[in-house]
Amino acid sequence: MRVAFLGATKGMGRALARLMAERGDSICLLGRRLDDLERSATDLEVRGAAGTVPCVSCDLEQPEGFVRAIDEARDALGGLDAVVVTAGLFATQEELESDPQLAERLARVDFASTLVFCEAAKKALLEEGGGTLCVFSSVAGERGRKPVIIYGAAKAGLTRYLEGLDHKHRADGLRVVTVKPGFVKTSMTAGLEPPPFAGEPDDVARRVLRAIDRGSPVVYAPAPWRFIMAVIRALPRAVMRRVQF
């Protein structure tokens, strides 16, 4: 598989890219820090990635560069079979409420800019005759919840966009895989108290890779989050006002 990967230098994205490299996929890394990309590229090459792992500059906060970056990745790989997007921002509700500029930045990056990047990726994949667009959203977008109001709103918008994209283009050969991670122990969640069902990046990556191979439209990771969120979605609003989850 020829994969353009936005966000493979840390956490779940790095774990997923490593799995793809170990099975011999061809990978091109996109990101804003070329030094981080080059270190990750060397790591993936050692792990078995097919050929050299090229690196392409792409800043999720600069949408004007998205088409160029995807075209460069496509040229470097000799075509595209998949685009994986794990990049994004996270901040606690308290941090976002106390810093309106941070709140605006997070909403823009995690929803608007990611949407624009996916539009460019969608066009490139459809020009190839189809492929897989795998994007990390979050269970935070499943229901309005006190601890993740702003972050959850951005992810809710992204999830609905990806669902619509799947409805429109599945018949055209575009397989959209929406990943909905729960709490995963990464640098993004460092300092937060993990719940009993917190996941590890490697376990999440294995589950996501199976979903990519199968073309599953939605994957919860770790798996218990599918059932947890089913309960949360069913709770009456009056109950949601009282719980802290």
Q: What is the DSSP string of 120-131?
A: HHHHHHHHTT-E
Per-residue model confidence as pLDDT tens digits over 102-116: 999 999 999 999 999
- Mean pLDDT of the region 60-86: 97
pLDDT score for 33: 93
Q: Which of 18, 12, 182 minimizes the C-alpha distance to 3?
A: 18
Each residue's pLDDT tens digit, 108-167: 999 999 999 999 999 999 999 999 999 999 999 999 999 999 999 999 999 999 999 999
Of all residues in the chain, what percent carry a pLDDT higher than 90?
86
Summarize the confidence of residues 220-245 as an average pLDDT.
90
Task: Please report how the helices 114-127 and 149-169 are oriented relative to each other, as an axis angle in degrees rounded to 10.
Answer: 20
For residue 69, pLDDT over 90 is answered with: yes
Per-position DSSP letters for 174-191, written without gaps between them:
EEEEEEEE-SB-SGGGTT
Provide CATH code, domain 2-242.
3.40.50.720
Compare 245 and 210 and report the one with higher pLDDT. Answer: 210
Higher model confidence: residue 225 or residue 20? 20
CB-based contact 68:100 (threshold 8 Å): no
- C-alpha torsion 137→173→125→179, nearest 10: 10
Cβ–Cβ under 8 Å, residues 176 and 170: yes
Short-list 45, 54, 55, CA closest to 24 = 45
**Domain residue spans of the chain:** 2-242
When pLDDT is averaged across residues 36-59 and rounded to a whole number, the result is: 96
- pLDDT averaged over every residue in the chain: 93
Whether pTM exceeds 0.75: yes
85, 73 contact by CB (below 8 A): no
pLDDT of residue 115: 98
Inform me whether the pLDDT recorded for 77 exceeds 60. yes
Q: What is the pLDDT of residues 167-197, one digit of tens each?
A: 999 999 999 999 999 867 555 555 556 555 6
